[in-house]
Amino acid sequence: MEFVKPVLEFDKVCVSYTKQTMAVKYVSAAIERNSITAIMGPSGCGKSTLLRAANLMHNLYPNIHVNGDILLNGENIFQMHPIDVRRRIGMVFQRPAPFPTMSIYENVLAGFTLNGINLSKSEKEEVVENCLKSVSLWNEVKDVLNKKGTFLSGGQQQRLCIARALALKPEVLLMDEPTSALDPIASKHIEELLLQLKKDVTILIVTHNMGQARRISDHSMFMYLGELVEYDNTLKMFENPFDERTKAYLTGKMG
Does residue number 131 form part of the binding site for another protein (CB under 8 A)? no
Q: CB pairs under 8 A, 24+ apart, for 109-112?
A: 109/167, 110/164, 111/87, 111/164, 111/165, 111/167, 111/168, 112/167, 112/168
Instruction: State the nearest-atom distance from the C-beta of 239 to another protein, in Å.
Output: 35
Distances (CA, A) of 83 to 54, 58, 63, 93, 133: 13, 13, 20, 18, 26
Does residue number 97 form part of the binding site for another protein (CB under 8 A)? yes
Does residue number 83 form part of the binding site for another protein (CB under 8 A)? yes
Does residue number 168 form part of the binding site for another protein (CB under 8 A)? yes
Q: Which of 34, 35, 103, 113 binds another protein (CB under 8 A)?
A: 113
Does residue number 150 form part of the binding site for another protein (CB under 8 A)? no
Instruction: State the nearest-atom distance from the C-beta of 181 to another protein, in Å.
Output: 11
Instruction: State the nearest-atom distance from the C-beta of 47 to another protein, in Å.
Output: 17
Burial 22-54 (b: 16+ CB within 10 A, else e): bbbbebebbbbbebbbbbbbeeebbbbbbbbbb
CA dist 241 and 32 (Å) reads 20
Q: Which of 161, 201, 205, 206 binds another protein (CB under 8 A)?
A: 161
- Positions touching another protein (CB under 8 A) are 55, 57, 60, 82-84, 86-87, 90-91, 93, 95, 97, 99-102, 110-111, 113-116, 161, 164-165, 168
